[in-house]
Structure 1
């Protein structure tokens, strides 16, 4: 056959177009988990039984807030990387006001929790475990305030699944294995030992007929003290109703019993008995807040986050920076795309690590400047196209809100890898140290996403009090471990220094997006310092690359460690980058040339949960990644 240059050119053009298409957008392949579809409601959370609790509430006539509260209660009872003494953060869309509300139910540092106190104990940061790691309980108050303000059902209705589970439920392997893993830590706390190590003999070994000291998978796990505490709340609500109080007043009567009555006194006694600092006054003075979230507009979509007492604004900062690039033309997970994402996240997280803290305590965080589009454009100019910058530092947002930075000296001295450390290269970490870094870096939570036909949308990331939890007295309540996210030295972060009554800057970060003024996405994920990274990529997968929520939740994400760990010893590893195994060889080679130290994972999406509101069809899409045990139910 004679040579036909036109035919060859045409074939080459077709082949090139096909190649570009595969890079520009992922193939719409079948997902590991099926997408959820509903027209009445959707409930997605971290455990199958907890999703069932939400479904039960919907079927009783509850709205999305009622269901979310029941799911938080159920996951707390199941120790799904949280317990009842932890904290709750939420975003709620109210269809009647057409506004997004933030719920701040993060506990505070107790009386006596000062830098001097912790240094006197030999700590560089508050500890990871035990009563000295605990802020005041936030989740009970968060549930009750959300329910009172925006729900329809009674506290008795909403807590019924959790009480039934506290009486006994078949424990799943994941939690049973965690109890076994942390048995030595749990033995340090008498009530924790009694609750979790029920098969431990006097010699410390499993009793005859059992394979472990804790519960076995499928065994009925009972928590009588917790069940009694939850019943006290329901009893108090019933007494208030009998006395003529309305629904909201009756729920808040239960709130008062927890924070100002016998439960608060027993919790504080149990904490102090173990060397903790909590007083009854600490619980009585604490309160959750309903507040206005922060938001940015990304290409016509309003994205909402809680403010600087969590890491949420970091994703908003990243979106502002990324708006200066044509991500779609780069191609999904191309070298340019991954490099731009990594550099952008490094810029946003450097600001997080220096400027974020409790906005109810001085100094005031420069949130207006941090979320300024002009500031983002200046930060975007710092991205070096040819290589990774391992020394990306916080910027100066103050001029972008018409002010002068009062912490210029600390800012100039700040480094991602702290002075005196020599751990910026992954190969300089021992395997044991690296494994410990990864454990704390990814410390989990759970997530709760709900939506209903009336228009209520809820996104929650409750956490704290995870295993190995210290149970306070006879309450059955596992104490929070959130104190470790504080710093003791203002040079690390002048906004996040521990103080009594102050909230630590947490990693927890529910997300919500509105399109054309209407709910569009509710999404969250567990995983410590990987949370904002996974949520940013989920959002871009949907908005830039046209994925369905389930496809986006299972996407081949990247993970950067060029930020200070919010837990443990607050270390950082610049240049370390985890990629999905599906990333091709040529992209790996190009990233290596840019200075990245690559690692690979078969599944790097994180346990994302999400709901998309399909305005065109009047239905809902639910999603739960296949990373863990996250599960959803829709109708």
Structure 2
């Protein structure tokens, strides 16, 4: 056959295109298109709640608040006693606002207290795992400051659901899975184990003690609590208060009135530490988020009381590499991405914590482009470094590191731990590590034609939750993200009134000064990994939001689990089944222990603002039950 140079060039170009930019690929879920609004969240019913609010004339903040309330009522891996973290783009000021509605450690929550109970870290379950509730305050302040509708209108879907909704299989199965844990807490047992007889077995005619999929699940105590908030708002309006004042009257009832007192009583009855004063003193903070510029795109994250800045750090490091030339999910790309994330997560694990407690975190240095260039030099071409450690950002903000001794002694795998490789873990222990590593939440994305954009990752109080007294409110489990030993992380040691460093991380990006992307995901320590890759899929490889949400992501475990025993497994790498053999073999040679998954993207939700056409692209990965509605 004669040599045809033109044919070879065309074939080579086609091959490169498949490696470097898989554009317009067929997706499992279709992309959402909207002209007026988009609502995306973790459950179809909750997305409908957002759509209802939009159709009543609400804006994206109203819709987001309704979706948070609905998902909390549905126990979509969170409940009303959890925490809410949000980014909001205000079209009137053209600024991004950070919403910090994370609860705090209660009175008496000290390292000494937990050690006296035999804990290496605060526990995963029960009242001693709970920070103060943040989600109710987050909803009400967001609504009061930036919404249009009343609290009664926004909570209406959630109240209807508390009165009774057809429970889906995922939550019903979780209740059955955790029935033994739920039995420990009287009000949880009463709420969830609705078919349990006096002998602990299912009642006649039922195969399980919890609700069945499709059954109407009722939460009368929660319905009463939510109606108390709406009634308080109505009385305040009748007394002449304006919309904002009336919503904040309901806020005061929750945190300073009879609801707070019953919550604290219920906690203390079960051995918890919460006092009415803990709730009364808690405050939501509206704050300035942090951001970085990646190739002309401004990417926004909440600051270092969550893990959000680690994605910004990773982007700063990755700017020093030509990712597009490497090719999507090539060996070099995966290797560079893995080590970059390890560098950013090592800093996360040592430096991040509550900014309102000393010592002050070196966030300016951590986000310095010069610091990122120095960190990029540590990316090795030939192999993975299983002990990538935190750097020293203090010189990059004109300071001296006060924790040099701890920094020099810090290793990825903690001293005394010998399970640094996955083959040293028993199947049971590895399954438990994976469960805590991926502990879920939900995500909420909303956008409207007025220009409001909202990205939220509400969480906490997931099953098996301890319900506090007769409030119907499931208590948070966020205390377990604290450490007791300052050598682990001097910025994140438990203390009364302090926020734990959380994994929750809503994301937003602006292009040419205008909203471009809102995106979030659930999944504990996998969140920032999935979001980084989603963003790169869109920006570097030209994918649509739905394609990017379903992309073949990688997962690293070379960071300290934010839950459980806070352990790490360096070199362990999960790849999508679609990664070809030659890439697998090359990664093994670089020192990785590979595992595979048919779908490794995580349940990403996203909205892209199409400035060219004046429309919106919505996306929800097919990983879970995330769903969106657009108009």
| C-alpha distance in structure 2 between counterparts of 1:6 and 1:126, whole Å | 66
3-state SS, counterpart of residue 562 of structure 1: coil
Cα separation, partners in 2 of 1:294 and 1:4, compared to 1, 3 Å: closer
The CA deviation at 1:186 is: 0.2
Structure 1 CA distance, aligned partners of 2:599 and 2:252? 44
Cα offset, 1:4, TM superposition: 7.9
The SS at the match of 2:454 is: strand
Q: Deviations over 1:235-254 (max 9, x none)?
A: 00001000000000000000
Query: Once the 2 structures are TM-superposed, how far is the Cα of residue 15 of structure 1 from its aligned partner?
Result: 3.1
Q: Give the structure 2 partner of residue 289 of structure 1.
A: 285
Whole-angstrom distance in 1 between the partners of 2:535 and 2:4: 46
Counterpart Cα distance in 1 of 2:361 and 2:23 = 43
Counterparts in 2 of 1:582 and 1:250: CA distance versus 1, 3 Å: same
Aligned-pair CA distance for 1:18: 2.5
Q: Deviations over 1:317-364 (max 9, x none)?
A: 000000000000000000000000000000000000000000000000
Q: 2:27, 2:547 within 8 Å by CA — same for their partners in 1?
A: yes
Q: CA 1:4–1:334 in 2, change beyond 3 Å: closer, same or farther?
A: closer
Q: Using the alignment, how far apart are the partners of 2:589 and 2:154 within structure 1?
A: 55
Distance 1:18 1:387 in 2: 30
State the shift of 1:202 in Å: 1.0
Alpha-carbon contact 2:23-2:542 (below 8 Å) kept:
no
1:503 aligns with 2:519: no
Q: By how many angstroms is 1:3 displaced?
A: 7.6
SS of the equivalent of 2:67 reads: helix
Who is 1:103 aligned against?
A: 99
1:443-482 Cα deviation digits (max 9, x unpaired): 0000000000000000000000000000000000000000
How far has the Cα of 1:2 moved from its partner?
7.0
CA distance in 1: counterparts of 2:528 and 2:552, whole angstroms: 15
TM-score, length basis structure 2: 0.99
Supply the distance in 2 between the matched residues of 1:451 and 1:7 (Cα, whole angstroms).
46
Structure 1 SS opposite 2:609: strand
Q: Verify: 1:567 aligned to 2:563, yes or no.
A: yes
Pairwise CA distance, 1:6 = 9.1
Structure 1 residue ranges, 4+ long, deviating more than 3 angstroms after superposition: 1-8
Measure the CA separation in 2 of the matches of 1:5 and 1:600: 39
When residues 398 and 201 of structure 1 are mapped into structure 2, their CA distance, relative to the original with a 3 A threshold, is same
Q: How many residues align?
A: 631
Q: Give the secondary structure class of the aligned counterpart of 1:267.
A: helix
- Distance across 1 between alignment mates of 2:460 and 2:559: 21
Note closer, same or farther for the CA distance 1:16–1:232 as it changes in structure 2 (3 Å cut).
same
**Cα distance change, pair 2–486 in 1 and its aligned pair in 2 (3 A):** closer
Q: Structure 1 pair 30/3, CA: closer, same or farther in 2 (3 Å)? A: closer
2: CA distance, partners of 1:22 / 1:165: 46
Deviations 1:415-444 (A, max 9, x none): 010011111110000000000000000000
Partner of 1:360, secondary structure, is coil
Would the alpha carbon gap of residues 349 and 4 (structure 1) be closer, same or farther in structure 2, given more than 3 Å must change?
Answer: closer
Superposition RMSD in Å: 1.0
Paired with 2:395 and 2:630, the residues of 1 have a C-alpha distance of: 48
Alpha-carbon separation, structure 1, partners of 2:311 and 2:7: 48
20-29 or 292-301, which deviates more: 20-29
Superposed CA deviations along residues 221-260 of structure 1, whole A, max 9, x for unmatched, are: 0000000000000000001000000000000000000000
* Counterpart pick for 2:297 among 301, 304, 313: 301
Partner of 1:535: 531
Deviation, 1:557, is 0.1
1:71 and 2:67 aligned: yes
What is the distance in 2 between the residues matched to 1:276 and 1:451? 39
1:16 deviation in Å? 2.8
Q: 1:332 to 1:230 in 2, by over 3 A?
A: same
Separation in 2, partners of 1:451, 1:434: 40
Normalising to structure 1: TM-score of the pair? 0.99
Structure 2 unaligned residues grouped into runs of 5+: none
**Matches of 2:489 and 2:5 in 1, distance apart?**
65
Query: Within 5 Å, which residues of 2 pair with 1:583-598?
Result: 583-598=579-594
Deviation at 1:27, TM superposition (A): 4.7
2:480 maps to 484
Q: CA deviation at 1:21?
A: 2.0
- For 2:63 and 2:614, the matched residues in 1 are separated by 20
Distance 1:201 1:245 in 2: 49
CA distance in 1, matches of 2:627, 2:370: 40
Give the aligned partner of residue 601 of structure 1. 597
1:54 to 50, 56, 69: 50
Q: Is the 8 A contact 2:23 2:541 kept in 1?
A: no
In the TM superposition, residue 17 of structure 1 has moved relative to its aligned partner by: 2.8
Matches within 5 A, 1:191-230: 191-230=187-226
Secondary structure of 1:238 counterpart: helix
